[in-house]
């Protein structure tokens, strides 16, 4: 069964991103995407973004729609990867995107993250990814000092924020908690 997510703002506002609902995806709600991009509205322009657990690609595509220079999408589920690839082509975002079929945690261990201004994290819930990815980012020596990290997780999950990050903004919406962190290194 195909569903779709509507882009909430920017030059692609109103366009749809299709996704397969049976696939156990939990896309970021349009309400939460609006909250995130309201937080970032004056700084998103020309940002390089990393959408680490891309899923539908909604966060990274929304960033591009709102003026980001480039988004790198990392997705390890083959069906989701192919769907994001298709969406990027359909929305004419190929020249501003790179999509990789990789495991997100392995990828950030092995790659230089110094170009990224914004890292978007919406990992599968209840699998301890939040803790692992924040720890990897905390230990990453080449993370830009001005880098912001958006992370979304179940409000029932207790996550510890490493001391190298400061919480700039937070929002609870339904069963989801979202944080915007700033790297203090």
pLDDT tens sequence across 43-91: 999 999 999 999 999 999 999 999 999 999 999 999 899 999 999 999 9
Q: What is the predicted pLDDT for the residue at 26?
A: 72
Q: What is the model's pLDDT at position 125? A: 81
CATH number of 25's domain:
3.40.50.150
Domain span at 172:
2-183
Nearest to 96 by CA among 119, 137, 123, 66: 66
Percent of the chain with pLDDT over 90: 67
16-20 and 2-6 beta bridge pairing: antiparallel
What does pTM read for this prediction?
A: 0.94
Does the structure show a pLDDT above 70 at 102? yes
User: Which of 33, 27, 28, 39 shows the shortest CA–CA distance to 12?
Assistant: 33
Task: Name the domain count of the chain.
Answer: 1
Give 173's strand partners.
176
Q: Is residue 25 very low, low, confident or very high in pLDDT (cuts 50, 70, 90)? A: low
């Amino acid at each position: 069964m195909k569903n779709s997510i509507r882009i909430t703002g920017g030059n692609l506002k109103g366009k749809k991103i299709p996704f397969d609902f049976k696939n156990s995806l939990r896309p970021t709600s349009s309400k939460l995407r609006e909250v995130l991009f309201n937080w970032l509205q004056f700084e998103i322009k020309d940002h390089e973004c990393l959408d680490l657990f891309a899923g539908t690609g909604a966060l990274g595509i929304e960033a591009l729609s709102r003026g980001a220079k480039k988004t790198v999408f990392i997705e390890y589920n083959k069906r989701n990867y192919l769907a994001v690839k298709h969406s990027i082509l359909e929305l004419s975002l190929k020249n501003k995107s790179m999509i990789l079929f990789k495991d997100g945690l392995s990828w950030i261990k092995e790659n230089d993250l110094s170009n990224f201004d914004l890292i978007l994290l919406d990992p599968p819930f209840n699998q301890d990814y939040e803790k692992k990815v924040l720890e990897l980012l905390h230990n990453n020596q080449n993370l830009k000092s001005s880098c912001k990290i958006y992370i979304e997780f179940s409000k029932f999950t207790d996550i510890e924020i490493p001391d190298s990050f400061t919480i700039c903004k937070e929002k609870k919406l339904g069963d989801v908690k979202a944080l915007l962190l700033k790297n203090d290194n």
